[in-house]
């Protein structure tokens, strides 16, 4: 009886883990996504070659449809129609007035979709990297104010009050930020206020560290463990991570199809189905740093997305790189996750090409320091005051001409639509091979992971699997 109970618990834990992508509110051409656009996204994700349909969850950054005051984002009806689970997001770095519009949209979604929404919602994120944006490192590249800890705590309370007595009353509330924000003791009130912590990590951008692909898993695991230690036993969900197929070098971090595949296989695959993971991202064609796993919706992936037992336990790295080459330095308006939680913020950041906002004037002669934010594009009308440019989340912030600001409601909060002739194309070329060694032993002590299964720590690195979950659950039940 006991063994069957353990097995049931293990299966339930694995089954409850969600796997998906991050989705911004804009198309690659900068236009606002419609319900049909989101449906196409979700269908393409769940039908990706080699994935067995596991990418059936979507993380959103805002509840507000682009170009409107507080209408419900069209991703909600698209998710209902396609049966896509949702990590809802409320944008929290645009001030209290805009946050009230996020609340209005959330309430409208609950009133409209009720139990249909309840069955799909994994959790609700109040903000994304708002604490990081308070740091001097972030302010170097963006005037966006972020949100203070007490402000976020207040926002969390407002959401709890709003969902009380509704279909989403049982939804788990969290906040997404960098690991450096989570380990900062001055932010502990946010940890106390939420039910789970969202972790964004990009070893590729950790240029002050040994960030070659061979060490990327170690960097990821280390920052995850630091976040877990700060979580006081609360679950940690992996809300953003990935490795680009195209982009500039960040110290030893090289963007290539081979490296992106290695990172997916060795960091992603051991987590899928065990931890809540939202990968960055499905498609990002034309971006200066391209994280997409496929060049376009419905196209064959850049690399093999089938997870194997070998890659789940191996730390072998590509022995060569084959970078994606193409014409033009295209920018699609999609945000770049620049550094996020994995970056060592004590050193200087590299530069990225800024993305223009329609209706504004920027100086493109210089590039701005990259801000590690990892934010996908969010369309939200009227999210700024005149003369104050909201964050280009994940993008370097271009200089802002306060004499000619964007018109209210004409751009995306947290992102920017492209303007002018910033277009280009690229095709992958190059070759790489994998070393065959690097198997891990499963020795060590088991500790809780974000979705309930245990984490086995060994000298070869952290392995997370259904088997590990079963071992830990068996040990836990034996102690009862």
Q: Which residues are catalytic?
A: 129, 240
As a three-state string, the secondary structure of 204-235 is HHCCCCCCCHHHHHHHHHHHHHHHHHHCCCCC
Classify 294 as helix, strand or coil: strand
- Coarse DSSP helix, strand, coil percentages of the chain, rounded to the nearest 5 percent: 30, 15, 55
- Give dist(CA 254, CA 260) in Å, integer: 9
CB 111 within 8 A of CB 76: no
Angle at 253 between CA 252 and CA 255, to 5 degrees: 135
For tokens 């979705």, the residue is 451
Angle at 286 between CA 290 and CA 244, to 5 degrees: 5
Name 34's Cβ contacts closer than 8 Å, sequence gap at least 6.
74
Structure tokens, 384: 């700024």
Centre a 10 Å sphere on the Cβ of residue 328 and count the other Cβ atoms it contains.
12
């Amino acid at each position: 009886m006991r063994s069957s109970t353990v097995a049931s618990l293990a299966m339930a834990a694995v089954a409850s883990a969600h796997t998906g992508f991050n989705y911004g509110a804009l198309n690659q051409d900068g236009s606002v996504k419609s319900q049909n656009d989101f449906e196409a996204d979700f269908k393409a994700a769940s039908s990706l070659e080699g994935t067995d349909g596991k990418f059936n969850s979507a993380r959103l950054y805002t509840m507000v449809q682009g170009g409107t005051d507080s209408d419900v984002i069209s991703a909600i009806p698209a998710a209902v129609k396609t049966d896509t689970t949702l990590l809802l997001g409320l944008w929290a770095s645009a001030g209290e007035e805009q946050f009230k519009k996020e609340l209005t949209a959330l309430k409208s979604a609950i009133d409209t979709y009720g139990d249909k929404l309840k069955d799909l919602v994994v959790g609700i994120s109040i903000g994304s990297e708002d604490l990081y944006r308070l740091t001097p490192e972030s302010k170097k590249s963006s005037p966006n104010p972020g949100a203070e800890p007490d402000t976020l705590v207040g926002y969390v309370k407002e959401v709890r009050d709003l969902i009380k007595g509704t279909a989403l009353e049982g939804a788990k509330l969290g906040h997404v930020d960098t690991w450096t924000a989570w380990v900062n003791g001055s932010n502990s009130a946010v940890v106390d206020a939420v039910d789970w912590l969202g972790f964004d990590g990009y070893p590729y951008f950790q240029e002050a560290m040994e960030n070659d692909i061979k060490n990327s898993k170690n960097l990821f695991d280390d920052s995850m463990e630091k976040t877990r230690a700060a979580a006081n036993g609360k679950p940690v969900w992996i809300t953003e991570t990935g490795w680009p197929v195209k982009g500039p070098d960040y110290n030893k971090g090289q963007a290539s199809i081979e490296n992106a595949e290695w990172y997916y296989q060795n960091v992603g695959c051991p987590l899928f189905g065990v931890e809540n993971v939202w990968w960055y991202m499905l498609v990002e064609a034309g971006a200066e740093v391209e994280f997409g796993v496929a060049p376009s919706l419905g196209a064959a992936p850049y690399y093999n997305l089938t997870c194997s037992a070998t890659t789940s336990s191996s730390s072998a790295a590509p022995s060569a790189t084959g970078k994606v080459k193409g014409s033009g330095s295209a920018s699609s308006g999609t945000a770049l996750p620049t550094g996020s939680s994995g970056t060592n913020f004590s050193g200087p950041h590299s530069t990225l090409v800024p993305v223009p906002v329609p209706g504004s004037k920027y100086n493109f002669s210089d590039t701005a320091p990259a801000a590690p934010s990892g934010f996908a594009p969010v369309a939200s009308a009227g999210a700024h005051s005149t003369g104050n440019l909201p964050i280009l989340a994940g993008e370097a912030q271009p200089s802002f001409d306060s004499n000619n600001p964007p018109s209210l409601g004409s751009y995306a909060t947290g992102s920017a639509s492209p303007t002018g002739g910033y277009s280009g194309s690229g095709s992958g070329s190059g070759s790489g091979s994998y070393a065959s060694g690097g198997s891990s032993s499963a020795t060590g002590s088991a500790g809780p992971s974000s979705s309930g299964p245990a984490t086995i720590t060994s000298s070869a690195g952290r392995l997370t699997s259904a088997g590990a979950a079963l071992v830990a659950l068996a040990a836990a039940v034996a102690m009862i």
